[in-house]
């Protein structure tokens, strides 16, 4: 069972330890500098007041583990937030948890006052993520080269 834990914007240490792998870093944020650049992350994922950063917690019989990260970011479009910086620990992937994460993230988003839509961006070289987004009800809005923009109305 996964849950979201509000992430202190000033505390990037857990995200940094998750993204110690260069390939993962590239999947999560292709423009991110490697190794983890705290100043760059401080400028972007948590800086805007509308942005919400979450750690993903997993309950196990032995306690609660932090196993990932996700964010809901304000956009230039009114009442529209972007799902971003999605990450699950390598050994947990491919077991349906990404799908579960999208569900709890959407539930979290629905709690934002007057929110109307979610959007996100994926890349053609990451078909697993695109598939998870489609399964979560996102549709392709446009494509520019490898960059696929997807959206979901929250009716
Ligand atoms: C993206 C991510 C969050 C998805 O989580 P996950 O736990 O692996 O996803 P799930 O197990 O719920 O679902 C994976 C789905 O992708 C499918 N899949 C796997 N590889 C695929 C591929 N190459 N092409 C198409 N579908 C693929 C699986 O069959 C499964 O679909 P199904 O449930 O319909 O059978 C996770 O893999 C991750 O953290 N990846 C690294 C970071 C990343 O890519 N972030 C997204 C940036 S846009």
Residue 55 and residue 9 in contact, taking contact as beta carbons nearer than 8 Å: no
For ligand 1, is residue 150 a contact (CB within 6 Å)?
no
What residue ranges do the domains of the chain occupy? Answer: 2-153
pTM here is 0.97
CB 81 within 8 A of CB 74: yes
pLDDT tens per residue across all 155 residues of the chain: 999 999 987 789 999 999 999 999 999 999 999 999 999 998 876 677 889 999 999 999 999 999 999 999 999 999 999 999 999 999 999 999 999 999 999 999 999 999 999 999 999 999 999 999 999 999 999 999 999 999 999 98
Q: Which CATH class is domain 2-153?
A: alpha beta
Which ligand 1 atom is the nearest neighbour of the CA of 97? 7
- For ligand 1, whether the C-beta of 95 sits within 6 Å is yes
């Amino acid at each position: 069972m996964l849950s979201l834990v509000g992430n202190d914007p000033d505390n990037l240490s857990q995200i940094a330890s998750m993204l110690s792998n260069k390939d993962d870093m590239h999947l999560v944020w292709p423009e991110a500098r490697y190794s983890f650049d705290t100043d760059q992350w401080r400028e972007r994922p948590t800086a805007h007041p509308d942005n919400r950063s979450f750690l993903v917690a997993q309950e196990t019989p032995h306690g609660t583990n932090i196993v990932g990260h996700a964010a809901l970011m304000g956009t230039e479009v009114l009442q529209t937030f972007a799902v971003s910086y999605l990450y699950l620990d390598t050994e947990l992937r491919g077991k349906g948890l990404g799908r579960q994460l999208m569900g709890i993230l959407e539930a979290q988003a629905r709690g934002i006052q007057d929110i109307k839509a979610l959007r996100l961006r994926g890349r053609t070289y990451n078909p697993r993520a695109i598939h998870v987004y489609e399964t979560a009800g996102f549709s392709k809005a446009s494509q520019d080269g490898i960059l696929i923009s997807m959206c979901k109305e929250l009716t």
